[in-house]
């Protein structure tokens, strides 16, 4: 064989190795953190339960899932005198709220500023007060050792001196002091608008791990208001009562996202980053999911698109199926509250199956890591019928930023 034939053989072998790695890979890996900072892998999680969905954890083992302990104690810091104010708004759905709160707290902490409770602007433009959705008293008291928090009660003259600044999610201290601090020193009032840079734009701007202040704000301070939390708990109880094992799987599938740019990404050319109901049903069958167990789907209305899933799994439910009439016309009548229901049901279900990558998936996983509910399965295009081969790489590789928040 001459040199060209040898090189050709080597290149051919290398291509087969690369192809094999692509087939075995979790198909969400390249896209899932497209909108949030990517952390490096820190080894395989050897404590992950290896089970088929035909043998879901029983209620006793599910209840024993241990909530992790935050490494940072928010009450351990002395409160510094405020040098000015940081304001912000919560926009879109709850998956954005978590990141926006964490980022605003981070900026306020590094600037030595007082954080003003945000207003809420829903995805349809509706405006709400923070206390209409979240527990304001808990947030203020929980953050007292980190940053001072005040309610929004300042005169118009305060708003006139306000400067808006775009800050990347999980910005590092160097970026904040270089790009935000000069504006803050000049006006003593900045409005933080959080954005999510692409992976290629993160270098030098963001930290890989969540800061302890962001961790505290996300997993300790931010809670639903008690009335809304009671509704969530009630719906969870109803879902569990539908199944023979008092458990349910939550699937984040919204039909309107299929065929849009959300399901396509240049970061993962040729790879699939969302799945339709037929593919989800086939996935459940392949890994042996019991036919009459309960599946909650975040799709707003049952519709024709879910028929293939309901045909194989008749106990597939949506909000329309599970919410009471009083809830539909009262506390949960707006889109924002319904998005919150989806987010928190996906956070507390026995198993979570994301039908697409994105920020909703990422922040639900963060909540589940905090509560010890790490059964998260991705319906990747691999032929394995073992649930363990579909475990989210966030869990199997401990690659989620939230892992930096907790001490085992």
User: Which residues are within 8 A (CB) of 213 and not within 5 positions of it... i.e. 6 or more apart?
Assistant: 72, 105, 106, 109, 146, 147
Single out the residue of 277, 274, 286, 283 nearest to residue 310, CA to CA. 277
Low-confidence ranges of the chain (pLDDT < 50): 6-7, 10-27, 29-64, 261, 265-267, 270
The predicted pLDDT at position 267 comes to 47
Produce one character per residue of 300-338: b if its CB has 16 or more CB atoms within 10 Å, e if not.
bebeebbebbbebbebbbbbeebbeeebeeeebeeebbb
Q: Tell me the whole-structure pTM to 2 decimals.
A: 0.80
Q: Dihedral angle at the C-alpha atoms of 205, 208, 211, 212, nearest 10 degrees? A: -170
Structure tokens at 37: 């900072």
Looking up tokens 């991705």 gives 378
pLDDT score for 210:
85
Task: Yes or no: say if 350 and 249 are a contact pair by the CB < 8 Å rule.
Answer: yes
Strands 114-116 and 85-87: parallel
Q: Would you state the pLDDT for residue 27?
A: 40
pLDDT digits (tens, 9 = 90+) for 263-282: 554 445 545 678 888 889 99
Angle at CA of residue 247, ends 245 and 248, nearest 5° = 130
Task: Convert the pLDDT of each residue in 180-235 to its tens digit.
Answer: 999 999 999 999 999 988 765 676 678 878 889 999 999 999 999 999 999 899 99
94-125, pLDDT tens digit by residue?
999 999 999 999 999 999 999 999 999 987 78
Distance CA 391, CA 25 (A): 11
- Residue 148 CA to residue 211 CA, distance in Å, equals 18
Please give the pLDDT value at position 304: 65
Kind of pairing, strands 351-354 and 248-252? parallel
Mean pLDDT of all residues belonging to the chain: 78
Alpha-carbon distances, residue 388 vs 272, 320, 365, 376 (angstroms): 20, 32, 17, 10
- Please say whether the beta carbons of 117 and 149 come within 8 A: yes
Determine the pLDDT at residue 308.
86
């Amino acid at each position: 064989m001459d040199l060209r034939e040898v090189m050709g053989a080597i290149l051919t072998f290398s291509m087969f190795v690369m192809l094999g790695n692509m087939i075995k890979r979790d198909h969400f890996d390249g896209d899932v953190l497209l909108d949030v900072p990517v952390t490096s892998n820190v080894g395989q999680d050897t404590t992950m339960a290896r089970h088929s969905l035909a043998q879901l954890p029983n209620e006793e083992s599910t209840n024993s899932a241990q909530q992790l302990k935050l490494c940072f104690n928010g009450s351990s810091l002395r409160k510094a005198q405020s040098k000015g104010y940081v304001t912000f708004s919560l926009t879109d759905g709850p998956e954005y709220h978590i990141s926006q709160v964490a980022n605003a707290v981070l900026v306020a902490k590094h600037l030595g500023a007082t954080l003003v409770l945000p207003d809420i602007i829903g995805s349809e433009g509706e405006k709400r007060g923070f206390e209409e959705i979240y527990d304001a008293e808990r947030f203020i008291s929980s953050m007292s050792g980190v940053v001072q928090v005040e309610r929004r009660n300042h005169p118009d003259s305060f708003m006139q001196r306000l400067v808006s600044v775009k800050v990347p999610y999980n910005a590092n201290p160097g970026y904040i002091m270089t790009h935000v601090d000069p504006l803050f020193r000049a006006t003593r009032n900045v409005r933080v608008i959080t954005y999510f840079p692409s992976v290629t734009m993160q270098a030098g701007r963001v930290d890989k791990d969540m800061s302890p202040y962001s961790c505290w704000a996300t997993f300790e301070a931010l809670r639903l208001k008690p009335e809304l939390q009671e509704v969530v708990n009630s719906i969870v109880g109803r879902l569990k009562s539908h199944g023979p094992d008092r458990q349910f799987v939550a699937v984040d599938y919204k039909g309107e996202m299929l065929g849009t740019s959300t399901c396509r990404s240049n970061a993962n050319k040729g790879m699939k980053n969302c799945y339709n109901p037929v593919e989800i049903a086939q996935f459940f069958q392949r890994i042996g999911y019991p036919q009459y167990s309960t599946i909650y789907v975040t799709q707003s209305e049952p519709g024709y698109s879910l028929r293939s899933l309901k045909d194989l799994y008749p106990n597939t439910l949506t909000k329309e199926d599970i919410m009471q009439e009083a809830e539909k016309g009262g506390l949960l009548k707006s889109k924002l509250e319904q998005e919150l229901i989806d987010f928190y049901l996906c956070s507390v279900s026995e198993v979570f199956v994301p039908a697409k990558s994105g920020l909703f998936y990422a922040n639900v996983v963060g909540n589940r890591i905090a509560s010890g509910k790490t059964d998260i399965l991705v319906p990747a295009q691999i032929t394995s019928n073992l649930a363990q081969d579909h475990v989210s790489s966030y869990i199997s590789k401990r690659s989620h930023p939230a892992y930096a928040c907790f001490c085992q």
